[in-house]
Amino acid sequence: MTKRERILVTGASGQIGTVLVQELRSIYGIDQVIESDIKHPGNSDGPFVGLDILNAQRLGEIVDDFEITQIYHLAAILSASGEWNPMKTWNVNLNGYLSILELAKEKRIDKIFYPSTIAVFGKTTPRQNTPQHTAMLPETIYGISKQSGELLSNYYNQKYGVDVRSLRYPGIIGYQSIPSGGTTDYAVEIFHYALKEQKYTCFLAADTTLPMIYMPDAIRATIELMEAPSDSIQVRTSYNLSGVSFSPEEIAAEITKHIPEFTIDYEPDFRQKIAESWTATIDDTMAREQWKWKEEYDLARITEDMLVHLRGIL
Ligand code: NAD
Ligand code: AKB
């Protein structure tokens, strides 16, 4: 059954957007979900509009022309790329988001999804079982911009009643694309190299444990959060969300169970420092209690599923 929503997805051509759009279209109908990005998606099966999120006037026109009711705001510059151009990253990640919050304040849209990230944490944050409400001193411009976005979400909700919902995504693992610009990207790249070359040089050190989540769990969490009754959503900054935590040596060991000849070596680069400033495991009790979140994929299941799908693609 289709619902009478009209959804705009910004940053729709990226790693999450290409999968999220398909899922939203299966729920709401192809023409009800409008993709937008500065780059064209490879193989879109529905409406796409070119949109630089910094063009607030064009954003407003699209919202009015398509009678948009919800925005999933994915457009952003990620942690590693962000360090090459901090001013642009701040501008895209924060000012782009402000235009959307303003549209919601003017009641031109009903609901917003804002993806935050484990990059909002820093070295003052407890590394294990990171609490929902905790010390945060992010060290990347990406983390700073996303944490500021969380605070703006809460502000617009408290002051203007904007229905904004948000998740602090861990690193997302999926077979649908090879991510770029992030610090957790190694956990996808490793599968491609394992299948094509049976070896991988990792840009993080062997024991760097980070929180991760499999794409189907991330997409399901997003839609479950957006469909939860408004009064169950107690956190309007962003919810901690946990899937699975592992290090490069642990995922390599899991891959070796399927590809015994696979080998890994380690050449940590500037992304090691970023990873070390993040946390290792996440306490997402509030998401579990308030809108009944539960992940389905552990490391063994992720590895098996990634290899099955990539064997069919590569
Ligand atoms: P991605 O880099 O794959 O996609 C981002 C998209 O935004 C790209 O298609 C890019 O073209 C677009 N974009 C960049 N600048 C733009 C602009 N000025 N105007 C319009 N579009 C622009 O990123 P992703 O992995 O798909 O992430 C989507 C969202 O989820 C981001 O907000 C990111 O911070 C968040 N997130 C992702 C992860 C992850 O592991 N993938 C983890 C935590 C949070
Ligand atoms: C990145 O590594 O920048 C992203 C993220 C965890 O936000 N994958």
231 and 162 together in one domain: yes
36 has pLDDT over 70: yes
Is residue 155 part of the annotated active site? The answer reads: no
188 and 163 together in one domain: no
Q: Which of 53, 143, 103, 113 is nearest to 236 (CA)?
A: 113
As beta bridge partners, residue 50 has 37
38 in a domain, yes or no? yes
Overall domain count for the chain: 2
CATH number of domain containing 271: 3.90.25
Query: Average model confidence (pLDDT) for the chain?
Result: 97
114 and 143 together in one domain: yes
Q: What pLDDT, on the 0 to 100 scale, is given for residue 44?
A: 84
Task: Tell me which of 97, 142, 156, 239 is the catalytic residue.
Answer: 142
For residue 282, what are the contacts with CB-CB under 8 A and spacing of at least 6? 118, 129, 130, 168, 170, 211, 240, 241, 242, 245
131 in a domain, yes or no? no
Q: What pLDDT, on the 0 to 100 scale, is given for residue 314?
A: 84
282 has pLDDT over 80: yes
86 in a domain, yes or no? yes
- Per the document, the length of the chain is 314
88 and 61 together in one domain: yes
The percentage of the chain sitting over the pLDDT mark of 70, rounded to a whole number, equals 99
45 and 148 together in one domain: yes
- For residue 171, report the distance from its CA to the centre of ligand 1, in Å: 12
1 has pLDDT over 80: no
235 and 185 together in one domain: no
63 and 193 together in one domain: no
219 has pLDDT over 70: yes
184 and 86 together in one domain: no
The conformational region for residue 58 under phi > 0 = left, psi -120 to 50 = alpha, else beta, is alpha
Tell me the average pLDDT across 148-168: 98
73 and 148 together in one domain: yes
288 in a domain, yes or no? no
Point out the ligand 2 atom lying closest to the alpha carbon of residue 278: 6
pLDDT digits (tens, 9 = 90+) for 89-122: 999 999 999 999 999 999 999 999 999 999 999 9
Q: What pLDDT, on the 0 to 100 scale, is given for residue 2?
A: 45
253 and 219 together in one domain: no
For residue 145, what are the domain limits?
A: 7-124+139-172+214-240
